[in-house]
Every structure is written in C-alpha cells, then in structure tokens.
Amino acid sequence: MSQKQLHSIEELDEFVAKNGKKLLFKHSTICPISTTAYEEFQAYLLDNQVESAVILVREDRPVSNAVAERFSIKHESPQIFLLEDGEVKWHTSHWKITKDAIGQALNV
C-alpha cells in the first residue's frame, strides 16, 4: 500500500474522508527525533497493510496547521494520528512514536 504525501488541504480532506483506519504522520525533515519516529512508522508499515499519509511540516505548513485546527490537537512534530471515520482515535508524539505503540493503537 503506497504512502501518500499530503500537499494541500484538499488532499487532507480526501484522506480524512476515506473509510477505515488510517495513519497520518507529521514529519519534520530537519529533526533527528522526527527521523527516528519516522523510521518506526515505516517499520510498522512494512509489516502491516494500513492506509497512511505523511505531512512534511516545514514544506506544507498550511496542511499541518489545518490538522491541528480541525482536530483541536496542539501541533507537535513528529506526531502521529490514528484516524477512523473522520475522527482522531489515538495520537502521540516524539519518542512515544514506536512500531509497538502504533500496533497497539490499531489493534484496540
């Protein structure tokens, strides 16, 4: 399953509107913590088929800001969201983003 990069509010809207469980990852390409978290996210996706998307927070700041506003969740980077039926079911950030944590959130 390919991972999508969201560059516009329209792409974000389409992604959020899709049925089923989805992972949305906010990534800062200049942050070592974000790089580690992104590697954990990628490791999870290697073994699991789940719809996912990434927002590069510096390059696509309006999209990143839209997530914070839409779900009323303070922006952090790195940050991951489990979305289902247009709602955030789980989210975490920084060092708490691990392959195991993602797996536990999806298996609830």
pLDDT tens-digit series, residues 25-72: 999 999 999 999 999 999 999 999 999 999 999 999 999 999 999 999
This model's pTM is above 0.85: yes
How many angstroms separate the CA atoms of 66 and 6, rounded? 12
Domains in the chain, start-ordered, CATH in brackets? 4-107 (3.40.30.10)
Average pLDDT over residues 93-108: 95
Sequence-separated (6 or more) residues with CB below 8 Å from residue 39: none
